[in-house]
């Protein structure tokens, strides 16, 4: 029998695991994917290996729990490049609109090496032994004094305390609970949008940051093409260069090659003809990733139910705690919310443990 199990090796689950480790408890972390990180996914681009973010990228000085964790793990961070002129494409029949980005804008920050540096550092601190990948959980049943957890490959686990960090909507669709969760909570989960679950991200690597050389910030926005927004995405060391952005949701209907061609054509229009001489194109369609997204029955409003008070109530007679960024009353949806909810869930359990165990 395990003392504590955590389901989901995203930022929330790994942060919770570290809180237990600091108190001498080694929880088992069970993850559906063959990788850890969840909605954090930094990829080494094929050209020069520039770390490109296919998932979370930015945070601000308000995200204090995240910043404390970065400091603890010695991960440097740096402001998003935003010097010079921004570009706005309103229509193919009109000139591009150029605007100077005020220097007083409070910066967003990025992590050196990419956001996955954070989850890598957490896993390094925790050790790989207690991290079980490729094991989607399907059922949770309350039994005398413990919870029984069943995975897709017939794997079974028993634990005294369980933290689940799966996005609530996905949790409501994919995991069967015995006895069922309270109806009011299930209804909140069914209505909780998974932040960024529909996003399509792309990154394009270049030999040179040609936009910077033209006095452009690399920030461009469009109402016209499939690229909705793009940002400078050069690395921390300043020696590999890229642009990164978001595509419109409709772009999912195109094959990858068509998306790539359209992105390059649009970057040429918005940032200069040098855009066509690129080293690599990388993309990620999150809607096609079943461990983040599953189709909604009706359109859900992002953030509306994040941090709902029902998420902070212990379930199954105190044995089950929900976590994950959408459950967080503080910056729900964001990296900060993931850290906050992971810590809150861990402390909800640790604070009730006899001091000899915790």
List interacting residues with ligand FAD (CB under 6 A).
Answer: 7-13, 30-33, 38-40, 55-59, 136-137, 165-167, 170, 174, 195-196, 199, 201, 286, 291-292, 324-325, 333-335, 337-338
Nearer to ligand FAD, 39 or 65 (CB): 39
Residue 293's closest CA among 202, 227, 153, 195? 195
* Helix, strand, or coil (residue 10): coil
Nearer to ligand FAD, 201 or 259 (CB): 201
User: Burial, 36: exposed, middle or buried (Cβ in 10 Å; 0-12, 13-18, 19+)?
Assistant: buried
Nearer to ligand FAD, 286 or 311 (CB): 286
Please report how close the Cβ of residue 135 comes to ligand FAD at its closest, in angstroms.
7
Nearer to ligand FAD, 130 or 274 (CB): 130
Please report how close the Cβ of residue 91 comes to ligand FAD at its closest, in angstroms.
27
Beta strands (DSSP E) in the chain are: 2-7, 28-30, 42-44, 51-53, 77-79, 85-89, 97-100, 109-111, 131-132, 137-143, 146-151, 156-164, 176-178, 200-206, 216-222, 227-232, 241-247, 280-285, 320-322
Beta strands (DSSP E) in 50-136 are: 51-53, 77-79, 85-89, 97-100, 109-111, 131-132
Nearer to ligand FAD, 177 or 291 (CB): 291
* Residue in the structure block whose two tokens are 């309350």: 142
Please report how close the Cβ of residue 45 comes to ligand FAD at its closest, in angstroms.
16
Please report how close the Cβ of residue 357 comes to ligand FAD at its closest, in angstroms.
25
Please report how close the Cβ of residue 95 comes to ligand FAD at its closest, in angstroms.
30
Nearer to ligand FAD, 211 or 334 (CB): 334
Please report how close the Cβ of residue 92 comes to ligand FAD at its closest, in angstroms.
27
Cα dihedral sign, 164-166-168-170: negative
Evaluate whether 26 touches 2 at the Cβ level (below 8 Å).
Answer: no
Residue 83: which residues within 8 A CB-CB, separation 6 or more? 101, 103, 212, 217
Please report how close the Cβ of residue 119 comes to ligand FAD at its closest, in angstroms.
9
Nearer to ligand FAD, 96 or 310 (CB): 310
Structure letter (DSSP) for residue 320: E
């Amino acid at each position: 029998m395990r003392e504590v199990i955590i389901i989901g090796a995203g930022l929330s689950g790994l942060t919770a695991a570290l809180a237990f480790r600091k108190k001498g408890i080694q929880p088992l972390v069970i993850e559906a994917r063959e990788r850890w990180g969840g909605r954090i996914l930094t990829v080494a681009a094929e050209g020069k290996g520039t770390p490109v973010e296919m998932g979370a990228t930015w945070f601000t000085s308000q995200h204090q729990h995240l910043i404390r964790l970065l400091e603890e793990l010695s991960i440097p961070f740096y402001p998003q490049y935003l010097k010079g002129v921004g570009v706005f494409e309103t229509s193919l029949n009109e000139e591009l609109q150029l605007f100077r980005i005020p220097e007083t804008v409070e910066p967003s920050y990025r992590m050196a090496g990419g956001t996955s540096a954070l989850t890598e550092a957490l896993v390094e601190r925790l050790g790989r032994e207690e991290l079980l990948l490729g094991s989607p959980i399907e059922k949770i049943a309350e039994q005398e004094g413990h919870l029984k957890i069943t995975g897709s490959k017939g794997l079974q686990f028993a634990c005294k305390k369980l933290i689940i960090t799966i996005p609530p909507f996905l949790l409501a669709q994919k995991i069967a609970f015995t006895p069922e969760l309270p109806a009011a909570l299930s209804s909140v989960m069914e209505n909780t949008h998974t932040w960024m679950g529909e996003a399509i991200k792309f990154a394009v690597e270049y030999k040179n940051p040609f936009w910077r050389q033209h006095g452009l910030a690399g920030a461009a926005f469009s109402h016209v093409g499939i690229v909705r927004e793009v940002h400078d995405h050069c690395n921390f060391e300043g020696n590999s260069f890229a642009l990164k952005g978001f595509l419109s949701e409709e772009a999912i209907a195109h094959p990858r090659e068509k998306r790539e061609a359209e992105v390059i054509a649009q970057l040429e229009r918005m940032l200069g003809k040098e855009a066509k001489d690129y080293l690599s194109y990388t993309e990620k369609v999150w809607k096609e990733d079943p461990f983040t997204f599953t189709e909604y029955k009706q359109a859900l409003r992002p953030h509306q139910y994040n941090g709902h008070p029902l998420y902070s109530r212990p379930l199954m007679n105190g044995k089950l705690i929900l976590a994950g960024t959408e459950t967080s009353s503080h910056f729900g949806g964001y990296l900060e919310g993931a850290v906050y909810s992971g810590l809150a869930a861990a402390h909800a359990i640790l604070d009730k443990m006899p001091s000899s165990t915790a």
